[in-house]
Amino acid sequence: MNDLLHRVRVNLYENYLTGNSDDYWARVISERTLNVKEISRSAVNRGGAPLSAETMEHNVMLFLKEMAYQLMDGYSVNTGWFTANAHVRGVFNSYTETFDPMKHSVLFRFNQGDLLRMTQQWCWVVEK
């Protein structure tokens, strides 16, 4: 077992879909939202990243900006930690109809990648 211990707080709610009054589902209570600067600082202070927090923040922002550019050109992205791709929402009334921003929208979806999925092997404590 890994010595790393993670804690998440949750609220439990009755699960009406199962028909069993003893069933609950959990919603994680976010401690707070972190930005790139705060995560970069933490990587240097806690994780021992071999560069300054400012350099890390700058490089992450360059990466994210380029990733957004590539997503907008129709590429999918797989970082190992997450995957991302573009989706078009809206109804096209014919095969020849073109994109109309009044009827259609482009959304970006992010999904858990294999590296993040592997964190489930780490030791977790769930607190109510």
Give the domain ranges of the chain.
34-67
Q: Report the first-to-last Cα separation within the chain, whole angstroms.
A: 23
The count of residues in the chain is: 128
Residue 100: alpha-carbon gap to chain centroid:
29
Number of Cβ atoms within 10 Å of the Cβ of 47: 9
Residue 67 pLDDT: 97
Amino acid identity for residue 6 in this structure: H
Q: Any idea which residue has 């970082």 for tokens?
A: 79
Element (H, E) at 88: strand 82-89
pLDDT tens for the 128 residues of the chain, in order: 456 677 888 999 999 998 888 899 999 999 999 999 999 999 999 878 899 999 999 999 999 999 999 999 999 999 999 999 999 999 999 999 999 999 999 999 999 999 988 877 666 677 77
Strand pairing partners for 84? 77, 110
- For residue 68, give the H/E element and its range: helix 53-72
Please give the full DSSP string across 1-66, using - where no structure is assigned.
Answer: --S-EEEEEEEEEE-TTSS-TT-EEEEEE------HHHHHHHHHHTT--SS-HHHHHHHHHHHHHH
